[in-house]
Structure 1
Amino acid sequence: MAAVKKPRGNGAATSPVQPADAATRAALAKKLVAIPGGFFDMGARQSRFPGDHDAPRRRVKLAPFRISHVACSNAQFARFVAATGHVTLAEAEGWSSVFAGLLDRPDDWPQSPPGLPWWRRVEGACWRAPRGPGSVALDDHPVVHVTWHDAQAYCRWAGLCLPTEAQWERAARGGLDRRKFPWGSEMRPGGRIAMNVFEGAFPVPGPADTGTVPVTAFAPNGYGLYNTCGNVWEWVADRFADAALPKGPLSDPTGPDTGPGRVQRGGSYLCHASYCDRYFVHSRTANDPGSPTGNAGFRVAAPA
């Protein structure tokens, strides 16, 4: 499902983030997966959500690059915070948006954005406490409640960057062209669940709807990347423009120069066919870069 599109200030770091030492940056870069350059078909033939501008397909050419095989985990983000003292926007402002179905007592948190009653403003919710006071961030789960600016702060420390949208999709497809998912075009290959998306009758959670899962849950794609569909939306570098995407061959596109928000890719544990089936490898949405939520994180990249 789409995230909460509500501006929350500029989301920037409370103090300048200094780069990590050379050894730390080299170690982090070494973990990235090499993605070959070349052409691929980006986007979908047709979109259920025209405003997402994930269609039509267009031929894109990319130079080789590197990308993380997993979304940034809580353990890795904690290492960054310990080294820099970075304070996320959710921590600085004292609250963030949590899916009501994950709260033990949702009525204790009655404030919701207009038209989105399944999101609740929870005081004390942040990456350390993803469901509010008393909850704990699991080391091997993706970090959430981070803004685009928080993700950029991590990148500055790590000596890395957010992938462009085209790089993200190229890597997410795992070498398969014109398919809906990293493994093919069937949502449940062989009848099995292959990604972390909503299983109940949205917004009423089913037994399997427990929020995030570990960053290495489910099988990796052909390039070795995990969870490029479902689990958490992932911030990318590009702006989101409220206009159709260009057609024809593109070379290393970086997105529009202006736009109302930043792009998020991949869907999350809240995506469901009845409301928001943005769990395809071509799916995209936009959110304000200063808006943290409980279903959005990021993964990092670097030039080849």
Structure 2
Amino acid sequence: MTEGLEIHGVRAVPDGMVWVPGGTFAMGSENFHPEERPVRPVSVAGFFMDIRPVTNAEYAAFVLATGHVTASERPSAPPAPPRIPGSYVFRPTDGPVPLDDRNRWWTYVPGADWRHPQGPASSLEDRADHPVTHVTYTDATAYSAWAGKQLPTEAEWEFAARGGLAGTAYPWGDELAPHGRRMANTWHGDFPWRRAAPHGTSPVGAYDRNGLGLHDMVGNVWEWTSDPAAAELAARSAHPCRVPDADGAAEGSRSAVARHAHRVVKGGSHLCAPRSCHHFRPAARLAEAETTAACHLGFRCVSR
């Protein structure tokens, strides 16, 4: 648990976190996807934030201490249709495909879960310092409560991701790759079939910190926030990042949106490419059902 000591009335910075001073910022973007509009002034109070996404090792400590069983490890509960425990895994296609059918690259894999990120034959060997994945919103909030923390609001997350820069596309400025340097773990190549480097998560902290000292605020894994997603955002189905509805309904359909509560996720992931989605930006946002678990979805915590 993270309590934070009192020093002259000010909490000391907990281990593994940084202080994000409060302020007012221009939230959103007019330059990319419609759900990021309009740009509007938003104020947040100061808070502490995890320097990096929660790792497999950290989640393993939580599971050992509490016995928590993630949603991907449990059979579906009524009234949902019977389902073998598992989760969604990305599988590259054999060649170029239209980007309007996510079922071409998303596969529900029985036995895939946080311990087996690519399926039952995979493991966490050499992945202890990678972000935990295949965790639902409930799995993330269970960890945050155990740690004495919370999930960030969307505004807190975006304010922190900007790292003190105002109005830039990325946490480091407006150039995607300044001086040819890769700044985040994103898809380089032709999505969803050809990538310049092996796809998958990378160790947390493998890329430079932003101006507030935070790693991986874009790329690597999408991150849960505590904010409910409005029905309009939840119904949007035009993005390759979205995982098919867990109950088999057409993604974005009225039945899928009505069946599950949705939360805003932020930051993009290792599967995001400029030409397919361009979501590795602070302003980018999607809605995922609280029941969603997948190989590109994780979280980090805050303390207020």
Structure 1: which 4+ aligned runs deviate by more than 2 Å?
A: 20-23, 26-31
Matches of residues 147-166 of structure 1 in structure 2 within 5 Å? 147-166=136-155
SS in 2 for 1:78: helix
Select the residue among 87, 91, 110 that pairs with 1:96.
Answer: 87
What TM-score, normalized by structure 1, do the two folds share? Answer: 0.79
Cα deviations across residues 235-269 of structure 1 (Å, max 9, x unaligned)? Answer: 0000111358xxxxxxxxxxxxxx95100000011
1:9-24 mapped onto 2 (5 Å cutoff): none
Displacement of 1:39 in angstroms is 1.0
Give the match for residue 131 of structure 2. Answer: 142
CA shift, 1:21, in A, is: 9.5
Cα distance in 1 between the residues matched to 2:273 and 2:184: 12
SS in 2 for 1:185: coil
User: Who is 2:275 aligned against?
Assistant: 274
- Residue 167 of structure 1 aligns to a residue whose secondary structure is helix
TM (norm. structure 2) is 0.79
Match of 1:41 among 3, 6, 26: 26
Paired residue type of 1:120: T
By how many angstroms is 1:32 displaced?
1.7
8 Å CA contact 1:199, 1:209 repeated in 2: no
Higher relative contact order (CA 8 A, sep 6+): 1
In 2, Cα distance between equivalents of 1:177 and 1:63: 17
Q: Is the 8 A contact 1:96 1:123 kept in 2?
A: yes
Tell me the alpha carbon deviations over residues 152-188 of structure 1, each in whole angstroms, 9 at most, x when there is no partner: 0001111100000000011111100101111101000
1:118 matched to 2:119: no
SS at match of 1:101: coil
Query: Over aligned residues, Cα RMSD in angstroms?
Result: 2.4
SS at match of 2:190: coil
Match of 1:56 in 2: 38
Shift of 1:30: 3.3
Q: Tell me the residue number matched to 1:261.
A: 262
Residue among 19, 30, 40 paired with 2:15: 30
Q: CA deviation at 1:200?
A: 2.2
Unaligned runs of 5+ in 2: 5-10, 76-84, 95-100, 234-259
Identity %: 43
Supply the distance in 1 between the matched residues of 2:230 and 2:159 (Cα, whole angstroms).
20
Is there any run of 5+ residues in structure 1 with no aligned partner, and where?
Answer: 1-19, 107-113, 245-258
State the secondary structure of the residue aligned to 2:189: coil
Superposition deviation, residue 31 in structure 1: 2.5
Q: Paired residues, what number?
A: 256
